[in-house]
Structure 1
Amino acid sequence: MTQSIHPTAKVGKGTTVGENTIISQGATIGPGCLIGHGVVIHPNVRIGKNVRIDDHTVIGKQPMRAANSIMKAEDNLPPTKLGDDCIIGTSAIIYAGCEIEQKVLVADYASVREKVTVGAYTIVGRGVTIENYCTVGRYCKLETESYITAYSVLEDRVFIAPQVTTSNDNYTGRTEERFKHFKGITVKKGGRVGVGAVVLPGKVIGEDALVAGGSVVTKDVPPKKIVRGVPARIWRNVPDEQLLENQDW
């Protein structure tokens, strides 16, 4: 087997496709793309121009649901869309219903679950997981092995350091009451979360706020404040030179 390209799939001019790659029915791949070896592109996926997809990556995967899953199965998820000039690393998985805007990098082993949107120029680092129903803005950086829980919102210019952990279930898997209260985190524009920090369900990190590494966030963080500790408490203001308004972007 070298390639399996369905007769209804469309592959643009100048696109190269590696060995043992499957391009399913109705998929569309723009011109100038580089598709690696062993890639699986599921039905009706839309891929823009000049996109690079590395070996053994899966685009448009349908989600699985356990018999006792709290998430309901969804039929007819919309096709996954990858914008122009994206780079998708080795063994990454991007699920059905995702929309990835232009010039996004999704690094090796990252997982982007169903119904997630990722804004242009964002970096999703190696081994990052973005769970379902999340929105990630433009120019964000999600670094190695960070975990973004379902139903979260990260606005533009958000920075998430390596191994940050977030949660959406204050009941920790017990009682029927928890089903009424699932809520991910919100990080407002320019918010930053330091290495190894934990952000508990429903908490809001304010615009230009900073969570110090190793902190546990149990309360909302006001804009332009630095919090630190377990539990995290306000330490001081973010220095003026670090505020978004003073950057040269």
Structure 2
Amino acid sequence: MTIIKGSNNVISEGVKFGENVTIGHNVVIYEGTEIGSNVIIQDNAVIGKQPTRAKASILPEVKKLPPTKIGSGVTVGTSAIIYANAEIGEDVFVADLATIRERVSIGEKTIVGRGVAIENDCSVGRNCKLETNSYITAYSDVGNYVFIAPYVVTTNDNYMARSKERYDKFKGVTIKDGGRVGANATILPGKTIYEDGTVAAGSIVSKDVEKESLVVGSPAKQLRKVPENQLLRNQ
């Protein structure tokens, strides 16, 4: 086992490493984390962090979550944070300043861009691209080969933090295989973008996007079908 370490690292007990792991400076890896082979962890990254619950949070209190699992071939960028009970598939790239919260799974070969935030209890499939500063809200389900452009915002609270009625009605977004969302688009709570559904830049999605449809505007409406040469099955 070959591990190349920088300075001032804090590696807790029970961390498991594969072969050929490179760790930068000032990295913190929490107890029990499992790290595969050929992994690069850059400066100031934090892996396996237990979540801290705000006093006003409506999330249930959890005393201790299971360790994080990092697959082989993963790169974790500078100052990225990966919380406990996250599972990162093989060959995933997590860019600088990204945050991946607890109980999140990410499939192989997905790119999590700079400053991306994936909130708790989300599933992201394989071969996805989540680009710079996009936001995946809690309780969302993202399929395979999904493209999320910079500054896309997804939401899960129709009550905007007012009234206790909302407590059991949080619902993230669902983006099926091959779905694509353009820059600065906003997806409202509980909406589904079906297979190969495409959302134009700057649009506000207030209803489900049909399979292989292109929607545009605020609120987003179907403009036309996605061209055949753009469909996932024809790539």
TM-score normalised by length of structure 2: 0.99
Q: How far 1:78 moved relative to its partner?
A: 1.3
Of 14-23 and 191-200, deviating more is 14-23
Which of 175, 187, 194 is the matching residue for 2:182? 194
Q: Match for residue 208 of structure 2? A: 220
SS at match of 2:57: coil
The 4+ residue runs of structure 1 with deviation greater than 3 A are none
| 1:87 aligns with one of 70, 75, 78 | 75
Q: Whole-Å Cα distance in 1 between the matches of residues 160 and 178 of structure 2?
A: 29
Partner SS state of residue 178, structure 1: helix
Distance in 1, matches of 2:130 and 2:121, equals 17
Residue matched to 2:46: 58
The unaligned stretches of length 5 or more in structure 1 are 1-12
Shift of 1:180: 1.7
Which residue of 2 is the match for residue 39 of structure 1?
A: 27
Give the Å deviation of 1:76.
3.0
The Cα shift of 1:15 comes to 1.2
SS at match of 1:245: helix
1:26-69 Cα offsets, whole Å, 9 max, x none, are 11111101000000000000000010000000000010111110
What is the letter of the counterpart of residue 95 of structure 2? A
Identify the residue that residue 103 of structure 1 maps to in structure 2.
Answer: 91
Are residue 28 (structure 1) and residue 16 (structure 2) matched? Answer: yes
SS in 2 for 1:90: coil
TM-score when normalising by structure 1: 0.94
Cα-Cα RMSD? 0.5
Q: What SS does the corresponding residue of 2:10 show, helix, strand or coil?
A: strand
Q: Offset at 1:75?
A: 2.4
Q: Percent identity between the aligned chains?
A: 56
**AA paired with 1:200?**
L
Aligned-partner SS, 2:167: helix
Query: C-alpha separation between the residues in 1 aligned to 2:198 and 2:7?
Result: 46
**Match for residue 120 of structure 1?**
108
Counting matched residue pairs gives 235
Offset of 1:74 from its aligned partner? 1.2
Local SS of the residue matching 1:114 = coil
Shift of residue 14 of structure 1?
A: 1.5
* Unaligned runs of at least 5 residues, structure 2: none
Residues 50 and 64, structure 2, Cα contact 8 Å, conserved in 1: no
SS in 2 for 1:241: helix
Partner SS, residue 221 of structure 1 = coil
CA distance in 1, matches of 2:55, 2:127: 38
Output the CA distance in 1 between the equivalents of 2:23 and 2:127: 25
| Cα distance in structure 2, aligned partners of 1:246 and 1:48 | 33
